[in-house]
A and B are shown apart, each in its own frame.
Chain A
């Protein structure tokens, strides 16, 4: 077996624990079913492009992006734990290169990202069934979103985990950053109707771009703006990935 695959095998083994599964699957489902339907009485229709969506539909599609982002947290947690428990050094003294290690992390979050996006898409399917506009682009767009979303947020998580030293710092910072990404984005509410400063903040957030692209794929609402958002995602993902790789390569023992 190739060294990268052996590391992916190991990464998945150490990440699969009940806490992670709850975080990854139960938590988004609670959002969709509890929050989605509870808020329906407050929010009837969400204006979206030139149509309207009911809130659970809007939220369920947002949760796909949210879940891709969350799954990348495991890359940060793996790097962080490997450093803290000496496994990074041990692996680097073994039959692996740093490139193997970095690639295995990307593959791990790619796999977890695609799996959890698929689970949420399946569970959410009955909810957004009525509004869905299947096209030849739907599946490729979802795969595009999973891959570039994973690389982008995975790089952010790994940058944080290579820069920090104390474990309190790691938890506080990674939770704050990801909480900001989650709630200051179009995953939970549309940009129209929000105050100007908040609307601006939404577009400083890569999750907004990711979620917009996913919705465009599912509801078939392509525009030039979506193309620009896709380009922004690609550029950010490549840029952050090269920073993350450089930091990890320089990490000293």
Chain B
């Protein structure tokens, strides 16, 4: 079943198209990863899907309901952790969890149980009596994410939930989310951290300049770019005409900013590597360091974004 569907969804601010005609199809029970560089339009998309802002064009259907016509109906069934911090400065951690449950009309007994459960899951025992205004940034973020689980929901939007969290808190949160998905929750997840997306997401969309440039499962994305390897060569000393020499090599893409680092992406890495080494040898260029590795999601992300930037320029 479709959980989120959008059709040519757009949002413009003055002369910039923050979201530019995107079509999404998120299935129930999935973790849908939404990746993109700064300013790509991730948060704007989340604000559109959670009915915080009105689109300039297009349609949104959330859990079978038209989100533009019936925003409140949609909001009653979803949860959101926005990118921006939000907290009640003067309340203690446990009180603010409890009050948030009250705001969502969760009954008193259930609220008390939930508070205890979340304090346990999110490691908040030590700070439960502290006021929110006295917490560190990462602690506050943890409370903010935990708070959203005070109420039941069918679909959860998370806008970079792990920002500010240390590695162990990060891992704990990801595992907590994985367990929630097993109980039927659908998650729309925004992040910059690609290892997180790889670990958590069933499907990934990459967005750049308001447009979706790739949608696939993490494995498929890697397959698609998978034969490609990245070769990194560090040479000793700057070589003036090297760029011209390297330009003659086929079947590869070379990043060489006339410094001492050469990065080569290629699907035929063995052949290309051989040619490069011969060439460098012939020109008496000394190699200080060399590595070749399979392209990971991070590289795919950067490549996809660069390609889309190049084609739009």
Q: Which residues of A contact B (CB under 8 A)?
A: 1, 6-7, 9-10, 13-14, 17, 81, 85-87, 89-97, 252-253
A17, A85, A91 — which one has the most chain B CB atoms within 10 A of its CB? A85
Find B86's partner among A1, A86, A252 (CB 8 Å cutoff). A86
B306 within 8 Å of A (CB atoms): no
For residue A6, which residues in chain B have a CB less than 8 angstroms away from its CB? 102-103, 105
Rounded to whole Å, the gap between the CB of B148 and the closest CB of chain A is: 9
Interface of B is mostly: loop
Select one of A7, A86, A87, A95 contacting B75, CB under 8 A: A95
Q: A86 contacts B72, CB within 8 Å?
A: no
Chain B: minimal CB distance from A72 (Å): 19
- Residues from chain A with a CB closer than 8 A to the CB of B60 are none
Which 6 A-B residue pairings sit nearest by Cβ, starting from the closest? A86-B86, A90-B86, A93-B80, A86-B84, A95-B76, A93-B50
Alpha-carbon distance between A14 and B133 when the two chains are bound, in angstroms: 13
Q: How far is the CA of A17 from the CA of B102 in the complex (A)?
A: 20
Within residues 99 to 126 of chain B, which ones have a CB less than 8 A from any CB in chain A? 99, 102-105
Given contacts A14-B91, A253-B53, contact A95 B104 (CB under 8 A): yes
What residues make up the interface of B, taking CB atoms closer than 8 Å to A?
47, 50-53, 72, 75-76, 80, 82, 84-91, 95, 99, 102-105
Q: Are A7 and B90 in contact (CB under 8 A)?
A: no
A252 to B76, CA, bound (A): 21
CA distance A94 to B86 in the complex (A): 13
A120 to chain B, nearest CB (A): 25
Does A13 contact B86, Cβ atoms closer than 8 Å? no
| A99 → B minimal CB distance (Å) | 10
Select from chain A the residue with minimum beta-carbon distance to B71.
A97
In the complex the two chains form, what is the Cα distance from A81 to B47 in whole Å? 21
Given contacts A97-B72, A253-B47, A253-B53, contact A14 B82 (CB under 8 A): no
Taking CB atoms, residues of chain B closer than 8 Å to A13 are: 91, 95, 99
Cα separation A94 to B102 with both chains bound (whole Å): 12
B89 x A85 contact (CB < 8 A): yes
Residues B104 and A85 in contact, CB atoms below 8 Å apart: no
Within the complex, what minimum Cβ distance (angstroms) separates B254 from chain A? 44
> Whole-angstrom distance between the alpha carbons of A90 and B85 in the complex?
9
Option from B82, B90, B99 in Cβ contact (under 8 Å) with A17: B90
Residue of A nearest to B72 (CB): A97
| With A6-B102, A253-B52: A90-B90 Cβ-Cβ less than 8 Å | no
CA A13 to CA B80, docked complex, whole Å = 23
Q: How far is the CB of B299 from chain A (nearest CB, A)?
A: 34
Question: How far apart are the CA atoms of A96 and B103 in the complex, in Å?
Answer: 9
B-chain residues with CB within 8 Å of residue A253 when the two chains form the complex: 47, 52-53
Do A93 and B82 form a contact, CB below 8 Å, given A10-B99, A13-B99, A253-B53? yes
Question: Which residues from B are CB-within-8-Å of A252?
Answer: 53
In contact, B90 and A14 (Cβ under 8 angstroms): yes
Q: Pull 17 A–B residue pairs with CB atoms less than 8 Å apart, ordered by A.
A: A6-B102, A9-B102, A85-B89, A86-B82, A86-B86, A89-B86, A90-B80, A92-B52, A93-B50, A93-B51, A93-B52, A93-B82, A94-B80, A94-B103, A95-B75, A253-B52, A253-B53
A87 B86 Cβ-Cβ under 8 A: yes
For B51, the chain A residues whose CB sits under 8 A away are 93
Contacts of B91 in A (CB 8 A): 13-14
Within 8 Å CB of B103, what residues of A?
6-7, 10, 91, 94-96
Closest to A6 in B: B103
Give every chain A residue within 8 A of B53 (Cβ-Cβ).
252-253
A9 contacts across to B, CB distance below 8 A: 99, 102
The CA-CA distance from A60 to B234 in the complex, in Å, is: 83
Residues in B whose Cβ lies below 8 Å from that of A95: 72, 75-76, 103-105
